[in-house]
Amino acid sequence: MSLKRVVVTGIGAITPIGNTALDYWQGLLQGVSGADAITLFDATKFRTRFACEVKGFDPVAYLDRKEARKLDRFTQLAIVASDEAIQDAKIGAGMVDPDRTGVIFSSGIGGLVTFQEEVINYAKGDGTPRFNPFFIPKMILDIAAGQISMRHGFRGPNFAVVSACASSTHAIIEASHYIRLGKADVMVAGGSEAVISDSGVAGFNAMKALSERNDDPKTASRPFDKDRDGFVMGEGGGAIILEELEHALRRGARIYCEIAGGGATADAHHITAPHPEGLGALNVMRATLADAGMVPEDIDYINVHGTSTPLGDIAETKAILGVFGDHSYRLNISSTKSMTGHLLGAAGAVEAIACILSVVHNIVPPTINHHTPDPELDPNLNFTFAEAQRRPVRAALSNTFGFGGHNASVIVRKFA
């Protein structure tokens, strides 16, 4: 069958380096680090005492105070990002068919803070089960998609997909499928995460996954650096409006770029560690190129998963060399997690927005915090260290990999 073409007509973001998509993009180009001491809870006794928090976020600036209390922070962030994207795309009430407009919005963990607070309050009590009636609706991670649909009256496909740190990339891929198959005209896709909390930080500390560079948090996220010691936890949300091409043209929508294709694979190797040769990452990039009908030479920029972990950065680089061969040395590669930290389930959407704007503006955001070359990494690869680089960007590929061995990639390309 003939598949429909999918284009991007709106974007929205709230991140540790900017509370709108434009501010986020400017932060990336300026090489701003979003890392600082944790303020959301008392982290003085933790091995890691810093993170990339969203700055200056007051939910009542966006939501009714009573309504805001019924929502976990991850849902609040989802609403802010999606509201911006919906406004950007001009798909508000009466502008699109609500029965053919859907929402697939994800999170890796969901309402962890709500869960933590309710359990602590119960443990401190006399054993009488007194729980907030909104406990479950606040906690479940599909609630962000539901809240967005109810807020805007979108009655099309509505659900969440969960694949840890690959979640929102899978959301983009699944949303694009509905449009390609003619089952929807417009989809809101993305993800949000807000787990900078006692249990979130302690849990990742116990796995030895987080950087412990407490004396210099702004340089702690250092992908591809010899002295990287783990990722920096981030929070935020990203939303992308996907639209069937002819539908977008009929209504005179501004088109950012096209979703060329997406792919998904599994490492089938380990619960947290990547395949040492990057097999799952290699396979997902090949699958994504095939889905897009593209060849390696069509890609100019890869926004890598690049979490700043000792094993992950090496495995992903091996996969890139395996897929792109000699063209690897003509690519720009960068990890925007060096600035935003790792937004977990929201990472895919936020990083896809970086790819979209890179294609639009022909500029690649940098990888900051590189100090010491890693002898295990090919020095001839262009990791876009320190400063953004201008170049033609015909197409960009975004990689995300999650605990459990989940891999997802998506390609965005210039619309023509």
Q: How many helices (H) and strands (E) does the chain have?
A: 13, 14
Q: What Rg, from alpha-carbon coordinates, does the chain have?
A: 20
| Active site residues per annotation | 165, 305, 342
Copy the structure tokens of residue 195.
């787990």
Residue with tokens 């991670």: 141
Q: How is 360-391 classified by DSSP, letter by letter?
A: HHTEE--B----SB-TTS-TTS---BSS-EE-
Of the candidates 11, 409, 342, the one whose C-alpha atom is nearest the C-alpha of residue 189 is 11
Residue with tokens 């509905």: 178
Enumerate the H helices of 155-224 as residue ranges.
Answer: 167-180, 198-206
CA distance 401 to 404: 9
Other CB atoms within 10 Å distance of the CB of residue 233: 29
Copy the structure tokens of residue 301.
């920029």
Distance of CA 22 to the CA centre of its chain: 16
Other CB atoms within 10 Å distance of the CB of residue 55: 14
Copy the structure tokens of residue 40.
């959301």
Copy the structure tokens of residue 18.
């900017």
CA distance 147 to 71: 9
